[in-house]
Structure 1
Amino acid sequence: MKLKCAILDDYQKVALDLADWSSISEKVDVTAFHQHFNHEDELIEVLQDFDIIAIMRERTPFQKSLFAHLPKLKLLVTTGMRNAAIDLEAAKEHHVTVCGTASDSAPPTELAWGLILNLARQITQENLTLRNNGPWQISVGEDLCGKRLGLIGLGKIGSKMARIAQAFGMEVTAWSQNLTTERTGPLGVQKAASLEELLQNSDYVSIHLVLSDRTRNLITLRELEHMKPSAYLINTSRGPIVNQDDLIHALEKGLIAGAGLDVFEIEPLDEDHPFRTLPNVLATPHLGYVTRGNYSKYYHETLEDIQAYLSGSPIRKLF
């Protein structure tokens, strides 16, 4: 009898075209789901007969209660090698193997710069005005050259952000809890003495940290109040790193000039969420990693994980 594999959150309906699923068709039937399931009871109803599930990192939480209602589940594959939305202890308890895929740091870097450039030059607003036959030029853009980019996190993505900023003629400062001058020096990046110092002195603050207990709510109203009123906050990392209610308050009160956001506490956003309508928010629906190249790599490696599991030698295990 064949195993059943579910691919979740295939919004663009591309999953079945980006890997050779026929290579496992003798052993596994693969089904792709294009809609997002908002509630756990929906997931339980849909997934209870599946042996293998492939998920996009942190789109769909897999907590203890969900594992308990999926008795047939044996293999869970996620994008990336970290997923804060998976209860790994519960997976162990229910004898579910959890595997990941390698990630590419280029796509989210490119999107972060797309947000920065758009905010600096008001590209979206100018385009909409032009399309609607409105006034010719409605804004005066900001120069990036000579401005300061503050990076919260200087890993793979943060390092790429720094090099691009320098190409624009920007100064770059970085901070994270364990950052050293040995890391910042070779990159030509100034190490901020504290998060407060970075926020006070930066014109654009871009977050590039993984979500963990110590980074959750790292940015609250207290931190936002340290930023310049002319500064922008960019978050293409994880929504809960910034306290959502505090950010909304700061944006409504004009404590900062605006925000470029690709990640949110709950996704998809509610239809009436303030981030959809605040005039000083440039928001995209978690597109950071959504490129053809990255998706091809993800689904190819998902298939590799499944093949390895079927052969009895799982690879890229998360525990």
Structure 2
Amino acid sequence: MKIAVLDDYQGVALESADWSVLEASGAGITVFRDTLTDHRALVERLAPFEVLAVMRERTPLPGSLIRSLPNLRLIVTTGARNLSIDLAAAAERGITVCGTESRGTTTAEMAMLLILALSRGLVREANAMAAGGWQAGLGRDLAGLRLGLVGLGRLGAQVAALARPFGMDIAAWSQNLTEARCAELGVERAPSLRALLEASDVVSIHLVLSERSRGLIGATELGWMKPDAFLVNTSRGPIADAHAVLDAMRAGRLGGAAIDVYDTEPVPRDDPIRDPQLIAEGRLLLTPHVGYVSRQTWEIFYRQTVEAIAAWMSGAPIRVLKV
């Protein structure tokens, strides 16, 4: 049996779990550290494999790709949900799709880190020291600032809990957010997205990408924000128009932004979002979608990937994802 482990950017998949149980059964494991976007090249690479172990949405598996892989019999995705896998196409071909559990706090911690780093100008000050300089600007305390959460599900609630000890006032909005949910978490419910954006000093996005949330924050919505406010996106790139965010910062209509997610990943080297001036000023903080990337998370992901493959090989698949 041939197993392909995809998109292992750091080269740590094999050391994050014990794969020997699979190798002992005669399975061959091949690890790929890059992401291919060309359909033909991807088909050529993956055609020999019976099992694909995929990392979240890094390599999408649409129906056109699934139908082009004649040997494919099992897909294991890290996480309990992967919207970039065409489950219907997999089911049509009799391909089993399994998932894993995940840690609950990793992305929320990253969002809080970005809020802190942006507010205190951490990158700007670190770069000043690295260049032989000293204090380069003024940061802001979080105490007394208003945090607006776009989304108050599991991750939004965790960010609220992390922000509260810093003395932030917290409000939230989403299409289906109820007063009961806000009361449960001790968070003020904003009556509209506009009201949330107009009143917040820091806005952090925590929505699932859907047709309702795609493009939710564009030029118009950014115009509602305070000119010194910060926007943080650790959710999904298409929810906020990143290039409108840059335009707003260049025009002095937005204080800063921290972005961990993008429309295209990995981000091309020449993508305009890599604005050197805004980055140098410390107003733009870009990170390479590491909100869920941690040692403990990887240990869960890959240990349960191995378990899922072994269980499928024994005829009793676990954590099967259905259409």
Structure 2-normalised TM-score? 0.94
Partner AA of 2:313 in structure 1: L
Deviation at 1:105, TM superposition (A): 2.4
Aligned position for 1:248: 246
Gaps of 5+ in 2: none
SS of the residue 1:206 aligns to: strand
SS of the residue 1:138 aligns to: coil
Deviation at 1:253, TM superposition (A): 2.3
Q: Is the 8 A contact 1:84 1:211 kept in 2?
A: no
Aligned position for 1:147: 145
SS of the residue 2:273 aligns to: helix
Q: Is the 8 A contact 1:200 1:226 kept in 2?
A: yes
Task: Please give the per-residue CA displacement for 1:191-247, whole angstroms capped at 9, x wherever unaligned.
Answer: 111111111111111111111222211212221111111111101111111123333
Task: Please give the per-residue CA displacement for 1:9-54, whole angstroms capped at 9, x wherever unaligned.
Answer: 1111110111111111114211111122132222111100001101
Partners in 2 of 1:298 and 1:148 — Cα distance? 35
Aligned position for 2:41: 42
Q: Relative contact order (alpha carbons < 8 A, sep ≥ 6): 1 or 2 greater?
A: 2
Partner AA of 1:140 in structure 2: L
Aligned position for 1:288: 291
Aligned position for 1:191: 189
Partners in 1 of 2:26 and 2:266 — Cα distance? 34
Partners in 2 of 1:100 and 1:38 — Cα distance? 23
Q: Which 10-residue stretch deviates more, 293-302 or 27-36?
A: 27-36
Aligned position for 1:94: 93
Q: Is the 8 A contact 1:84 1:212 kept in 2?
A: no
Aligned position for 2:121: 122
Q: Is the 8 A contact 1:248 1:274 kept in 2?
A: no
Partners in 2 of 1:192 and 1:268 — Cα distance? 34
Partners in 1 of 2:286 and 2:312 — Cα distance? 38
Aligned position for 2:225: 227
Does residue 29 (structure 1) correspond to residue 28 (structure 2)? The answer is: yes
Aligned position for 1:261: 259
Partner AA of 2:193 in structure 1: L
SS of the residue 2:217 aligns to: coil
Deviation at 1:254, TM superposition (A): 2.6
Partners in 2 of 1:210 and 1:115 — Cα distance? 19
Structure 1-normalised TM-score? 0.95
Calculate the aligned-residue CA RMSD, in Å: 1.3
Deviation at 1:180, TM superposition (A): 1.1
Deviation at 1:119, TM superposition (A): 0.7
Partners in 2 of 1:27 and 1:210 — Cα distance? 39
Partner AA of 1:62 in structure 2: L
Q: Is the 8 A contact 2:243 2:273 kept in 1?
A: no
Gaps of 5+ in 1: none
Aligned position for 2:60: 61
